[in-house]
Homo-oligomer: A and B are copies of this chain.
Amino acid sequence: MPAYKRLGLELAGSLLLVAGSAWCADAPTASPNAAPKPAVTMADILAAAPASAWRALADEHTLYMELPAGRVIIELEPALAPHTVANIEAMARAHYYDGLSVMRVQDNYVAQWGDPEGKRTLPAELQSLAPEFAVPQGSTRFTPLADHDGYAPQAGFVDSFPAARDAKAGLAWLTHCYAAVGVGRDTDPTTGNGSELYAVIGNAPRHLDRNVTVVGRVRSGIELLSSLPRGTGDLGFYATPAEYTTIRSVRLASELPPAERSRLEVLRTDSPTFAALVDSRRNRHDDWFVHPAGHIDLCNVPLPVRPINSPR
């Protein structure tokens, strides 16, 4: 008997990251009793993926948040929150977030950062902003997920971000899956200017969809937020400033010299490879599984991320 049980999971390669998704690649070998069959596991599918199935993160829309424990990499999605993303990028360029704090970590919910001690004054033009809870779906490159979604008429993906849309209303929006990054606000919907952000670190709080502007997704380093001590104050706010985690800096990747950038690529959700991956995850065929689910929820679909030019 092995020293520990697998719980149905094996890792295809340690260089692969899957930010915000349970990474559960299948066993690399098929059952010895099974006839040879087409590649059906995630590991097989990714190994066979052409270079065109991947795209580099957009450096001009990617934030590096430097924490004492390391770098959190957030890719913003201007197509679905153009004004708020522009606001956040302007603040990053102005080094607004440097020295601010993670001041809230609520279990199974969010890690939130901003300016709890009132260190910064926002430029006047950033104080208020029309919310972007949903935007006209227009020309967004929406790849539908075939599976039923309880929270939206249609779930799917835009540019490798989990999203949803209402074709009748002509609207699309980013969804609150694990690792989603959104904009804290007060009761007034116009108060979400981007000075305070959160990342989802628990079971997808989809009821927040269309109530908060979601701006992007943590592509790497979500575990640096999700493993922080939980705040003991109301709502998971830390009881004292001494418990805050200091943000050393937040920079746009495009503003750093190339040598200081993290070169990552994400699987394109409009690729045939991704379609095959979703299908392989909807019904798992490796030996460990005895009851294929026949369904996959939007927020359980892996969005693989890996270093560019990583060895195979």
- Interchain CB contact under 8 A, B186 and A203: no
Given that A203-B177, A234-B14, A287-B187 are contacting pairs, would A3 and B118 also be in contact in the complex, using a CB cutoff of 8 Å? yes
- Interchain CB contact under 8 A, B203 and A116: no
Interface residues of A in 96-147 (CB under 8 A from B): 103-110, 112, 114-118, 133, 147
Within the complex, the shortest CB–CB distance from A186 to chain B, in Å, comes to 5
Does A161 count as interface, using CB distance less than 8 angstroms? no
Within the complex, the shortest CB–CB distance from A182 to chain B, in Å, comes to 8
Within the complex, the shortest CB–CB distance from A221 to chain B, in Å, comes to 10
Q: How far is the CA of A176 from the CA of B109 in the complex (A)?
A: 17
Q: How far is the CA of A287 from the CA of B198 in the complex (A)?
A: 20
Does A208 count as interface, using CB distance less than 8 angstroms? yes
The residue of chain B having its C-beta at the shortest distance from the C-beta of A147 within the complex is B150
Does A37 count as interface, using CB distance less than 8 angstroms? no
Within the complex, the shortest CB–CB distance from A151 to chain B, in Å, comes to 6
Interface residues of A in 53-111 (CB under 8 A from B): 103-110
B residues less than 8 Å from A114 (CB atoms): 4-5
- Interchain CB contact under 8 A, B11 and A235: yes
- Interchain CB contact under 8 A, B234 and A21: no
- Interchain CB contact under 8 A, B21 and A108: yes
Query: Using an 8 Å CB-CB cutoff, how does the interface string of A272-302 with B read, 1 for contact, 0 for none?
Result: 0000000001001001111101011101100
B residues less than 8 Å from A299 (CB atoms): 203
- Interchain CB contact under 8 A, A4 and B116: yes
Does A204 count as interface, using CB distance less than 8 angstroms? yes
Query: Using an 8 Å CB-CB cutoff, how does the interface string of A172-190 with B read, 1 for contact, 0 for none?
Result: 0000011100001111010
Does A212 count as interface, using CB distance less than 8 angstroms? yes
Main secondary structure of the interface of A (DSSP, over half): loop
User: Considering only CB atoms and an 8 Å cut-off, how many residues of chain A contact the other chain?
Assistant: 83
- Interchain CB contact under 8 A, B203 and A178: yes
Does A148 count as interface, using CB distance less than 8 angstroms? yes
- Interchain CB contact under 8 A, A211 and B290: yes
A sample of 16 cross-chain residue pairs with beta-carbon separation below 8 angstroms, ordered by A number, consists of: A3-B116, A3-B118, A4-B114, A4-B237, A6-B185, A7-B185, A7-B198, A9-B235, A20-B108, A149-B150, A150-B150, A187-B287, A207-B300, A209-B291, A210-B291, A227-B230
What is the interface of chain A, defined by CB distance below 8 A to chain B?
Answer: 1-11, 14, 20-24, 103-110, 112, 114-118, 133, 147-151, 177-179, 184-187, 189, 191-192, 196, 198, 202-212, 222-223, 226-230, 234-235, 237, 281, 284, 287-291, 293, 295-297, 299-300
Closest 10 CB pairs of A and B: A5-B184, A11-B234, A210-B291, A22-B109, A107-B223, A207-B293, A150-B295, A223-B230, A178-B203, A3-B116
